[in-house]
Amino acid sequence: MAEMEMTMVITEKILEMVFLLIVGAVVYKTGVIDAASNKKLSNFLLMVISPALIISSYQMEYDPRLLKELLLTFALSAASFAAVILFCRVVLRERPGVDSPVEKMAVIYSNCGFIGIPLINGILGAEGVFCMTAYTTVFNVLVWTHGVILMSGGGERVRLKDMWKNLVTPAVIAVVIGLALFLTGTSLPAVIANPIASVGDMNTPIAMIVAGANLAQGNLLASLKKVRVYYISFLKLIAAPVITVVLLFFLSGDFNVSMTIFVASACPAGAMGTMFALRYNRDSNYASELFAVSTILSMLTIPLMAAAAIPLLS
């Protein structure tokens, strides 16, 4: 796919996602769904739909090239996280009246599940989702180790038992199952594979509708008036992807791997920041504002960043 054509595909996917975000906001505001039903939809997405998409993406004939891409994605994902973590330590120092850990969490940990997976699925198809599972696995390991230490202020020890419990999620189980099927060259019978693929196809619409409903629950206008929110969004949506692209330019050499990690890094702040802020008594309202504003701005920044990054990654 030519560079210009891929940029157009990304722009089209973003426009589709914007429309679905609006649908989610409208159905929430009109009472078609409420906060409780949206939470159930979110759980359905995490527990059923995303694992189905992951398993379906692994239903490919074994190819050493794909295995190499997967392992390379693991390594470069870890490297990109390390680079952004170091960057945040430099630019987001403790200051009075600012919840620095919440800001760092927003910049480091993106919404690679709800937005990254649908987007890379639209760009690279099953191979993109295949690589994205490696990124999300590294994400989960780091968020339950580094993320816990960051948000607890170092006051909570990371116990292996607790970390293991949090890591054993339906998505991770799906990665293990999918990888086993891929490595053994096992293809599921059509009567099983087709329903799994059909459920996985719901990932993009449900993820965006849930995200749109989440955005509609907050006071978006008030959030948009805060200058600091734009600064953190700049770090998340521009600075972090630039750091990632520079790293990939020198270390990767594989377009699918590079594009997957770039897309994940260019996604807005994830909802995990709000969840951790609530758990560790941080400023959860601020975390929600960073999630909302960065999500809206990302609909503009992702295509622009992609247009600049694709020639470097090709």
Query: Mean pLDDT across the stretch 65-82?
Result: 96
Q: How far is CA 129 from each of CA 34, 159, 174, 187, 211, rounded to the nearest angstrom?
A: 30, 30, 12, 18, 20
Confirm whether 226 is domain-assigned.
yes
Question: What distance separates the 2 farthest-apart alpha carbons in the chain?
Answer: 59
Q: How far is CA 251 from each of CA 16, 106, 128, 213, rounded to the nearest angstrom?
A: 32, 25, 19, 39
Confirm whether 245 is domain-assigned.
yes
| Angstrom distance (rounded) from CA 23 to CA 209 | 6
Q: Does residue 146 carry a pLDDT above 80?
A: yes
Domain enclosing residue 107, as ranges: 3-306
Contact between 119 and 301 (Cβ < 8 Å): no
Of 103, 99, 80, 83, the C-alpha closest to 235 is 103
Tokens 């940029």 -> residue:
7
Sign of the CA dihedral 43, 46, 49, 55? negative
Q: Does residue 109 carry a pLDDT above 80?
A: yes
Tokens 């599921």 -> residue:
188
DSSP sequence for 31-52: TSS-HHHHHHHHHHIIIIIHHH
| Angstrom distance (rounded) from CA 260 to CA 121 | 10
Q: Does residue 3 carry a pLDDT above 90?
A: no
Confirm whether 261 is domain-assigned.
yes
Tokens for 168, please give them: 């054993």
Confirm whether 314 is domain-assigned.
no
Q: Which residue has the higher pLDDT, 252 or 76?
A: 76
Residue 110 DSSP SS3 = strand
| Angstrom distance (rounded) from CA 71 to CA 172 | 16
Distance from chain centroid for Cα 116: 5
Q: Does residue 5 carry a pLDDT above 90?
A: no
Q: What is the pLDDT of residues 10-53, one digit of tens each?
A: 888 888 888 998 999 999 999 999 989 988 998 898 889 989 98
| Angstrom distance (rounded) from CA 193 to CA 178 | 12
Q: Does residue 155 carry a pLDDT above 70?
A: no
Lowest-confidence pick of 5-9, 27-31, 76-80, 178-182: 5-9
Confirm whether 313 is domain-assigned.
no
Q: What is the pLDDT of residues 156-182, one digit of tens each?
A: 565 666 667 767 788 889 989 999 999
| Angstrom distance (rounded) from CA 54 to CA 51 | 5
Q: What is the pTM of this model?
A: 0.86
Q: For residue 157, what is the domain's CATH number?
A: 1.20.1530.20
Tokens for 19, please give them: 């429309």
Residue 193, Cβ neighbours under 10 Å: how many? 14
Residue 208 DSSP SS3 = helix
State the total domains in the chain. 1
Confirm whether 26 is domain-assigned.
yes
Tokens for 206, please give them: 């449900």
Confirm whether 311 is domain-assigned.
no
Q: Does residue 288 carry a pLDDT above 60?
A: yes
Confidence of residue 186 (pLDDT cuts 50, 70, 90): very high
**Distinct helix (H) and strand (E) counts, the chain:** 18, 0
Q: What was the pLDDT predicted at 39?
A: 86
| Angstrom distance (rounded) from CA 220 to CA 25 | 12
Contact between 80 and 116 (Cβ < 8 Å): no
| Angstrom distance (rounded) from CA 107 to CA 290 | 9
